[in-house]
Amino acid sequence: MLERRVVITGLGLVTPLGIGVEETWSALLEGRSGIGEITRFDTTEFTTKIAGQVNGFDAEDFLPKKDAKRTERFIAFAVAGARMALESARLTINEKNGPRVGVITGCGLGGLEMLETTAHTVREKGPKRCSPFFIPRLIGNMAPGMISIHLGAKGPNISVATACAAGAHAVGDACNTIKRGQADAMITGGVESVITPTCIAGFNAMKALSTRNDDPEKASRPFDRDRDGFVVGEGAGILVLEELQHARERGATILAEMAGYGQSGDGYHMTSPSPDGDGMIRCMQAAIDDAGIANDAIDYINAHGTSTPLNDLYETRAIKKVLGDSAGKVPVSSTKSMTGHLLGGAGGIETVFTVLALKNGIIPPTVNLENPDEECDLDYVPNKARKANLAYAMSNSFGFGGTNASLIIKRYEP
């Protein structure tokens, strides 16, 4: 029996660069940054005062008014992205096909803002003042849950919580769900919205964030010698995956094909990757092996590229080990230089970006790469988008605790 092929037919984006695929992709290719001063809370006493906020988002554009008022921001992002992706795919979910359409999304921290405000309310005013919506607005699985409720997808419904690898793990797991025959189509990706006092304070305490507050747009600078930490972003990247024949029979426009999925664990440190890149190496190699291609077939890598001193160096070492002599010829870019790091949502938006790069034959740049790091010596597509003929592209996502995911996407060939 031939393995079921899985293709991508729909895309949806909510990012610091814009709401919708067209707006975000246009900004990305122009090298514009979505990072600015935090306006969600008073940052006077905070070391970091900048983030990649989503501006102009109105939950009522995607949810009924009553639901919009009681839905946490990250959940609303997920539903918005899913609606866009389904519209893009021209896929209608009904009573007949609903049980064969599932949802898997990744989220790192869930409703952190709800947790903060409710903890304060209970402490100051007592337990009877706790909202009955506290738990439903807090838990990460309410993102796929609300997508299912509002869009009618009644197949497998799962939330992945693997920190910064969650979105990529969700996409890979969704692909495998279709391959196993458990669904014909999956709504999948990643989402996050945690630009909150405790999130910023927590990452500041770890010295993980950039403190380039005087020049926000230049703060995220992956692979640059002067990088000083990542910038928190928010948003969602959602895709519709389908079994190939299912997509063909309904006349869907196929954007790209899922080719490979790799996973690994570092088993090394709570927050730092292994200096020799061991976990990253095994993860990328597993994805290549799953795709059934040679290592030198990779034409582009959307790197994890967080703009932290250790990640960028270790990821560079890992890529060089995996690609060998071809490493210097393969374009590598970090779109986090413009969006910031969406944590559990990163793998979602970056998978969408990788699909768009393949489909349009153009690689988004790594902006703010002004002072090359001698140890980060690959082709990072500095500061300007580049046209390219791409057949296979890889997207990397690596998370705290040493949890890793790599996806390989290929240009669709009938």
Active-site annotation, residues? 164
User: Residue 7 pairs with which residues in a beta bridge?
Assistant: 242, 257
51 with 340: CB under 8 angstroms? yes
Mapped onto helix, strand or coil, the DSSP state of residue 220 is: coil
Helix (H) or strand (E) holding 11: strand 6-15
Pairing of strands 6-15, 256-265: antiparallel
Amino acid at 173: D
User: Residue 134 pairs with which residues in a beta bridge?
Assistant: none
Alpha helices in 266-410 (DSSP H): 278-291, 309-323, 336-339, 346-360
CA 280-286-287 angle, to 5 degrees, is 95
User: Residue 357 pairs with which residues in a beta bridge?
Assistant: none
How far from chain centre, in Å, is Cα 268? 24
With both helix axes pointing from N to C terminus, report the angle between 73-89 and 142-151 in degrees, rounded to the nearest 10.
Answer: 50
Amino acid at 306: T
Distance CA(139)–CA(135), nearest Å, equals 6
Dihedral sign of CA atoms 339, 343, 348, 354 in order: positive
Q: Output the CA–CA distances (angstroms, integers) from residue 157 to 72, 88, 136, 244, 389, in the order listed.
A: 19, 21, 16, 21, 36
Distance CA(318)–CA(334), nearest Å, equals 15
